[in-house]
Amino acid sequence: MATTVAERRDVPAELVHRWDPHNDPDAAACPFLAGAKLKDAPPVFFNPGEEDARARGLGGMWIVNGYELQREVLLNAEVFSSYAITGFATLLGEDWLMTPIELDQPEHTQYRMLLNPLFSPARINDLEVGVRQQAVELIEKVRGNGGCEFMDAFGRPFPVGVFMRLMGLPLEETPLFLQWEEELLRGATIADRAAAARAIKAYLLDLIAERRARPTNDMVSFVVTSTIDGKPIPDDRVLGICCLFYVGGLDTVAATLGFSFRELAIRPELQQQLRSNPALIPDAVEELIRAFGVVTTHRHLSRDYEFHGARMKKGDLVAITLGLASRDGAEYANPDVVDFRRENTRNISFSAGPHRCIGSHLARREIKIALEEWMTRVPEFGLKPGDPPVAHSMGVWGVDHLPLVW
């Protein structure tokens, strides 16, 4: 008879809980509904199964369910390691690291300090004119149409356009980048995802070579001309940094915009608050980021460790689905209600600790500009009747289809 996961992993039966949002019909409407089903699950539990390639050979992974415990994991980088955790290079059968997110200390700090100025508030201020111009141009294309499919018209191309500007890339190549992103993050098979990873790597290597030969004033040029401890950055680390810029710059803001504008379409009173009082928009941004944590990050155990009753083994995989922290009733009153006047909007939607999202200032600015320009230029909007939104819970939680009318 086959050995059960609990017996094989020496996990007590009460800590084994099956959670499969990818195959939950509710997740197609809203992944946060699928997450709500864990309100009665243990605060830390073992989720059996090896659908995620990172769990192969491990029998499953630990799920940390709640704001404070997730924050505790994210702050304890010594025990909960990020080393080689994304699996990007593994798709290619290679062993270079996405930098600095897959590095542990002390190397992580070296690269983080190098890259921080690229995303400082002052740098984001310098970018605002171009970012706002991008938003206005996209809105004006659909403003007179009485409606649009939001994700195609704005939700995806807006943050991708910002990324293309930062990387010094032609905006005409945006559709290609969107295609690769979709195949990488949500490809139907491992082969599909690997093919996208190969295409991205090849493109970035060509771009790196071009910037080495003819540096400009973009992020890639900064990286290839920088040094650490007086030495040029190694080729594999340059590639790792550029891959992180690619993956981080395309999906998370689009996902947050999708959920945010779906919420606004469902609740016109929220739109009215922003239209009548634009000064409320910065608070709205914080609340929307709080309510819609879209990223799931992972960690490996660097050693055997008991974590709130769960005896984890060295090498075990831990998943931190930040959308679960977004809706933690122990942290937030009425967590499922979006309230732009909420007093407590502190959140870990951009992660926490040494690996907190380096682009959080830029993401906030993009969401703020999107709200400001959309509320100024587009009249009250709602969901298109008979054409419901469609979401996904694979990879970054996000919205695939959001038809709006006005």
pLDDT digits (tens, 9 = 90+) for 98-121: 999 999 999 999 999 999 999 988
Average pLDDT of the chain?
92
pLDDT-derived band at 247 (thresholds 50, 70, 90) equals confident
Distance in angstroms (rounded) separating the CA atoms of residues 267 and 249: 29
pLDDT-derived band at 233 (thresholds 50, 70, 90) equals very high
Percent of the chain having pLDDT more than 70? 98
Whether the per-residue pLDDT at 360 is higher than 90: the answer is yes
Tokens 């930040």 locate to 322
pLDDT given for residue 207 in this prediction: 95
pLDDT given for residue 202 in this prediction: 95
Distance in angstroms (rounded) separating the CA atoms of residues 33 and 24: 9
pLDDT given for residue 209 in this prediction: 97
Report pLDDT digits (tens) over 362-399: 999 999 999 999 999 999 999 999 999 999 998 899 99
Q: Kindly state the average pLDDT of the residues 342-363.
A: 94
Whether the per-residue pLDDT at 403 is higher than 70: the answer is yes
pLDDT given for residue 185 in this prediction: 77
Whether the per-residue pLDDT at 123 is higher than 70: the answer is yes
pLDDT given for residue 246 in this prediction: 85
Whether the per-residue pLDDT at 4 is higher than 60: the answer is no
Domain limits of the chain?
5-405
pLDDT-derived band at 326 (thresholds 50, 70, 90) equals very high
3-state secondary structure of 144: helix
pLDDT given for residue 7 in this prediction: 43
Whether the per-residue pLDDT at 3 is higher than 60: the answer is no
3-state secondary structure of 243: helix
Whether the per-residue pLDDT at 287 is higher than 80: the answer is yes
Whether the per-residue pLDDT at 144 is higher than 80: the answer is yes
pLDDT given for residue 188 in this prediction: 80
Q: Kindly state the average pLDDT of the residues 165-175.
A: 87
CATH number (3.40.50.920, 3.90.1150.10, 1.10.630.10, 1.10.3720.10) of 5-405 reads 1.10.630.10
- What are the tokens at 164? 């293309």
- Bridge partners, residue 297, by sequence: 320
Nearest to 155 by CA among 264, 301, 237: 264
**Beta-strand pair 398-401/390-392:** antiparallel
Whether the per-residue pLDDT at 355 is higher than 90: the answer is yes
pLDDT given for residue 11 in this prediction: 87
Whether the per-residue pLDDT at 257 is higher than 90: the answer is yes
Whether the per-residue pLDDT at 9 is higher than 70: the answer is no
> Long-range contact list for 30-34, CB < 8 A, 24+ apart?
30/391, 31/323, 31/391, 31/392, 31/393, 31/397, 32/292, 32/323, 32/326, 32/327, 32/336, 32/397, 34/393
Element (H, E) at 27: helix 25-29
More confident call, 115 vs 186: 115
Report pLDDT digits (tens) over 331-350: 999 999 999 999 999 999 99
Whether the per-residue pLDDT at 279 is higher than 50: the answer is yes
pLDDT-derived band at 249 (thresholds 50, 70, 90) equals confident
Tokens 């945010």 locate to 260
With a CB cutoff of 8 Å and minimum separation 6, the contacts of 403 are 147, 148, 149, 150, 383, 384, 387, 389
pLDDT given for residue 189 in this prediction: 85
Q: Cα–chain-centroid distance for residue 282?
A: 20
Amino acid at 165: R
Whether the per-residue pLDDT at 5 is higher than 80: the answer is no
pLDDT given for residue 86 in this prediction: 87
Is the torsion defined by CA of 125, 126, 131, 133 positive or negative? positive
With a CB cutoff of 8 Å and minimum separation 6, the contacts of 82 are 101, 102, 103, 104, 108, 299, 300, 355
